[in-house]
Structure 1
Amino acid sequence: MDPSYGAPLGKSEPAGLELAKPSGDQEKAYDAWFTENEERHLSQLRELVAFRSLAMVAEERDQVDTAGAWRVERMAEIGATNANYDSDALVASGEIIADEAHPTILVYGHFDI
């Protein structure tokens, strides 16, 4: 593995923001969860990439929209609220607010492939 992988660029933390580090027990729990759910994750990835969803190909536009709806369903399954798909912008979005006091994290995944 590239030794610079995951290394911060520039400052180690943005000004005024202290990043929490997981404990050893938390890291073990994350690893266990990913290991236990690996097949489900891979199965869902296979489902997503099976859509013929190249947005610039008119004949595949319905598949782009189907892939967008699929993303919304997956977000709803994990508890996202306001999950929706904008077929004009080709954006699927949703939110999970665990604690109003914590910063927002945006996760982006391009799905017209």
Structure 2
Amino acid sequence: MAGCTRGLLWSRSRLSHHLTRMQQRGLVTREECADDARGSVVVLTPAGRRAIETAAPGHVAAVRRHLIDLLTPTEIDALGALTHRVVDHLGGRAPQPRHASEA
């Protein structure tokens, strides 16, 4: 669980408390981790999947209304490039150069 909390910037107790609440609502289950007896694997339940699918259209509409619709096509391109750099970095891949002259 330590790796998970690092990515979330949450304490172990906060993550555990949040997962317990989600478990009580039937959104996730916890299973034993085959690789680490101290850890557990959190599994999305069918009810959890339905909750995500129910929330998704409103979430997408809000992101569009409060972010995407405010940007110019050039800004959307820049946001896309930035997003790819961040995802590459988080995935342990070397980020692509920002400009062709940096290659």
Give the number of the structure whose residues are more often helix, by fraction: 2
TM-score (norm 1): 0.27
Does 1 or 2 have the higher relative contact order (CA < 8 Å, sep 6+)?
1
Normalising by structure 2, report the TM-score.
0.29
Larger Rg belongs to: 2
